[in-house]
Amino acid sequence: MAELKNIGPKGSGSDALEEACDDFQGKWEYGIKLIADATTGLTEKVAESGRLFQHQEDEIAALLRSVQVDPTGQAEQ
């Protein structure tokens, strides 16, 4: 989008193309801003989910390691 925003008459070489770029930028600027606002913080939320999942996995693994089975097949803790 920045490429379209910064393009000028010398950059495109065509008045029609310049007008089309301006039109496109005007129509999509609001939508792009909404998308950017909606996804702000998404990366951190996904990372936090991963950390929480890993913590749960570690807790489960530790519990499983603590279980001992005697030769008769009975579980002991």
- Give the domain ranges of the chain: 2-66
Name the more confident of 49 and 8: 49
Mean pLDDT score of the chain: 82
CB atoms within 10 A of CB 17: 13
Q: How confident is the model at residue 20, as a pLDDT?
A: 85
Alpha-carbon distances of 8 from 15, 25, 26, 32, rounded to whole Å: 9, 13, 15, 21
Per-residue model confidence as pLDDT tens digits over 45-73: 999 999 999 999 999 999 999 988 877 77
